[in-house]
Amino acid sequence: MSVTVQLLASPLRGLVDNRPELELPFMTGETVAALLERLFRAYPTFRPETMDEAGELLYEYQIWHEGEMVRGEGFRRILKDGDTLAFLLPIAGGSCTSSCTGWYSGGPRMKVILRNQGKEIEVTGRRRVRELLTELGVLPETVLVIRGRELLTIDEVVRENDVIELRPVISGGRA
C-alpha cells in the first residue's frame, strides 16, 4: 500500500540523499495535490525548489501521473494504490529514464493514423488514449483505437514507436 514518487530531475535527488524515488504510504481518496502537500511536509526543501510563491509548479518542472502530465484539473485526480508520480525537469539537467524517453522533440515518435481523413500524424511523449483523443478532438464513441491486432481502451497508455490507427465507426448515407 504505497505511492511512488519518482525523481527524474537531479536537483530534486540532491535534496534526498540522491535517492531516485520515494515511497509514501497510500491513503485512500487522496488527490495529487494532497499528496504533494504531504511530500512538502516530509521534505520541506522540496517546496521552494519546485513551486513559486503562488503555489504554482515552476515552469521548468513537470509532474506526470501514470503516463499523463498533471495540469490544471489533473491535480485533483485521485491516486490509486501503487500509482507513480514523477517529477521531470525536461528542459535541462533532467535525467530521463525509460519512462520519459521520447519527451525531447528529437526522440522517437508515435505514429497516429487517422483512417477517415487519410492522414498520418506523429506525436511525441507517452500518454493515455483518452488524452490523445482529446488532443486530436476525437470523441471516443466515434472510433476504434487499434494498435497492431489489438483494440485499446481509453485508459491504455500509448508510447513512442507505437503505430495507432483511429478507425472511424460512423457510417451511413442519407437513405
Partner 1 sequence: MKCKKCGGRAVLELRRHNTAFCAEDFLGFFRRHTLETIRRWKMLTRDEPVLVAVSGGKDSLALWDVLLTEGYNTAGLYLDLGIFDYSRASKAKCLDFAVERDARLIIVSVQDAVGAAVPRVRDATRRPTCSACGLSKRYLLNRAALENGFPVVATGHNLDDEAATLLGSTLRWDESSLARQTPVLEATHPKLVRRVKPLFRLSERETAAYAFLRGIDYIVEECPFSRGATSITHKEILNRLEDASPGSKAAFFLGYLDRARHLFHARESVTLLECVRCGQATTGEVCAFCKLSDQVRRAVGLPGEATDQPTDPAALRGLISDLTAASEIHAP
- Binding residues for partner 1, rule: CB under 8 A, are 115, 139-144, 146, 150-156, 167-175
Quick one: 54 or 139, whose CB is closer to partner 1?
139
State the nearest-atom distance from the C-beta of 24 to partner 1, in Å.
25
Of 22 and 127, nearer to partner 1 (C-beta) is 127
Q: How far is the CB of 69 from partner 1 (least distance, A)?
A: 21
Closer to partner 1 at the Cβ: 72 or 172? 172
Smallest separation (angstroms) from partner 1 to the CB of 140: 7
Write the DSSP string, the chain: -EEEEEEEBHHHHGGGTT-SEEEEE--TT-BHHHHHHHHHHHSTTHHHHHB-TTSPBPTT-EEEETTEE--GGGGGPBP-TT-EEEEE-TTTTB---GGGTT-STTS--EEEEEGGGTEEEEE-S-EEHHHHHHHHT--GGGEEEEETTEE--TT-EE-TT-EEEEEE-------
Q: How far is the CB of 117 from partner 1 (least distance, A)?
A: 12
